[in-house]
């Protein structure tokens, strides 16, 4: 751990930091860093908070904003770690001042798969470090299909089943998580990437609600996601 670039980065003073790449690996390294350096568990310590969410809502953004304004109790500064799969622009705007001018009592670590999902104003005020990502070849191949061809994909056909054959929550979650990963890695132009993220942002609040229509969400996503430009 001590020889990794992330460890060396965290040893430096910072206020707002963006770490991009494999979020699970980065979060694991963050947890290990604080355990080794300070002997604390970042998920339960009074001056650290970790939010790993599928989509960061406005209500949560407001709650986070309030937390950052409080004083630390056990260490010189508090540490906020955010790891959203989808970070809607309305929620980013809610936290804009927090990221731009963080309280001197709080350090912020934002962990995302790709920095393109963040507003330029946030990136301009943060120190960004990119870590190597594993290519999502299966997800990329799916995005390159024509919309009607996506509906014929075997995984999609399984998700469209109803009744006793209705897919499990785990299978639904895995499909959308893989798709979000593929979207953030795909060679989109800026306009198309924003469109793709908007599609995922639209469906994200309903993915884990089994009372909703998974069939409708899957069909909408397959038909609305733009395809990456192969010549980019």
Measured CA to CA in angstroms, residue 144 lies from 21, 79, 162, 185 at distances of: 22, 40, 27, 13
Answer whether residue 149 is part of any domain.
yes
Pick the range with the lowest mean pLDDT from 18-22, 146-150, 209-213, 220-224. Answer: 209-213
Phi-psi domain of 207 (left: phi exceeds 0; alpha: psi -120 through 50; beta: other): alpha
Answer whether residue 43 is part of any domain.
yes
Backbone angles phi, psi at 110, to 5 degrees: -105, 120
Q: Which of 162, 159, 154 is closest to 173 using CA atoms?
A: 159
* Interval 213-229 mean pLDDT: 90
Same domain assignment for residues 42 and 91:
yes
Same domain assignment for residues 102 and 145:
no
Backbone angles phi, psi at 204, to 5 degrees: -55, -45
User: Quick check: 60 pLDDT over 60?
Assistant: yes
Tens digit of each residue's pLDDT (9 = 90 or more) over 71-109: 999 998 999 999 999 999 999 999 999 988 877 789 999
Same domain assignment for residues 45 and 151:
no
DSSP string, 88-132: -HHHHHHTHHHHHS--TTEEEEEEES-GGGS-HHHHHTSEEEE--
Same domain assignment for residues 25 and 116:
yes
Same domain assignment for residues 38 and 10:
yes
Measured CA to CA in angstroms, residue 98 lies from 92, 142, 147, 211 at distances of: 10, 37, 39, 35
Answer whether residue 200 is part of any domain.
yes
Start-to-end CA distance of the chain, whole Å, equals: 36
Same domain assignment for residues 207 and 142:
yes
* Interval 135-157 mean pLDDT: 90
Which pLDDT does position 134 carry in this prediction? Answer: 59
Same domain assignment for residues 40 and 119:
yes
What tokens were used for 206?
A: 């309903």
Tens digit of each residue's pLDDT (9 = 90 or more) over 178-200: 888 788 778 888 788 888 888 88
Share of the chain above pLDDT 70, in %: 91
Which pLDDT does position 160 carry in this prediction? Answer: 86
Same domain assignment for residues 101 and 204:
no
Answer whether residue 232 is part of any domain.
no
If one counts the domains in the chain, the total is 2
Residue finishing a domain among 130, 159, 179: 130
Same domain assignment for residues 66 and 91:
yes
Same domain assignment for residues 145 and 213:
yes
Same domain assignment for residues 87 and 148:
no
Answer whether residue 13 is part of any domain.
yes
Q: What's the CATH number where 83 sits?
A: 3.40.50.300
Which pLDDT does position 45 carry in this prediction? Answer: 95
What tokens were used for 111?
A: 């962990």
More confident residue, 34 or 137: 34
- HSE toward the beta carbon, residue 118, CA cutoff 13 A: 26
Same domain assignment for residues 181 and 122:
no
Print the domain residue range for 30.
5-130
Task: Judge contact between 83 and 52, C-beta under 8 A.
Answer: yes
Residue 112, beta-bridge partner list: 20
**Mean pLDDT for the chain overall:** 85
Give residue 133's pLDDT band: very low, low, confident or very high (50, 70, 90).
Answer: low
Tens digit of each residue's pLDDT (9 = 90 or more) over 30-59: 999 999 889 999 999 999 999 999 999 999
Answer whether residue 231 is part of any domain.
no
Which pLDDT does position 14 carry in this prediction? Answer: 77
Residue finishing a domain among 130, 165, 180: 130
Q: Strand, coil or helix: what is 144? A: coil
Element (DSSP H or E) covering residue 79:
strand 78-86
User: Quick check: 232 pLDDT over 70?
Assistant: no
Answer whether residue 88 is part of any domain.
yes
Q: Which of 58, 46, 55, 50 is closest to 81 using CA atoms?
A: 50
Answer whether residue 126 is part of any domain.
yes
Give CA–CA dist 48/40, Å, rounded. 9
pTM, 2 dp: 0.61
């Amino acid at each position: 751990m001590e020889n990794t670039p992330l460890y060396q980065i965290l040893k430096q003073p910072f206020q707002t930091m963006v770490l991009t790449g494999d979020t699970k690996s980065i979060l694991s390294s963050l947890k290990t860093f604080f355990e080794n350096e300070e002997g604390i568990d970042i998920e339960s310590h009074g001056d650290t908070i970790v939010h790993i969410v599928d989509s960061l809502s406005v209500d949560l953004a407001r709650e986070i904003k309030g937390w950052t304004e409080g004083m630390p109790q056990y260490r010189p500064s508090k540490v906020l770690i955010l790891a959203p799969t989808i970070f809607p622009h309305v929620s980013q705007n809610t936290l804009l001042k927090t990221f731009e001018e963080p309280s001197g009592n709080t350090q912020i670590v934002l962990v995302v798969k790709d920095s393109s999902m963040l507003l330029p104003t946030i990136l301009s005020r943060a120190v960004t470090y990119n870590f190597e990502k594993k290519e999502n070849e299966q997800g990329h191949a799916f995005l390159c299909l024509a919309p009607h061809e996506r509906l014929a994909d075997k995984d999609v056909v399984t998700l469209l089943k109803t009744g006793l054959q209705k897919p499990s929550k785990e299978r639904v979650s895995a499909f959308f998580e893989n798709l979000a990963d593929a979207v953030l890695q795909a060679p989109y132009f800026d306009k198309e990437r924003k469109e793709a993220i908007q599609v995922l942002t639209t469906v994200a609040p309903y993915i884990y609600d089994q009372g909703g229509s998974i069939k409708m969400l899957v069909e909408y996503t397959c038909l609305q996601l733009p395809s990456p430009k192969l010549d980019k």
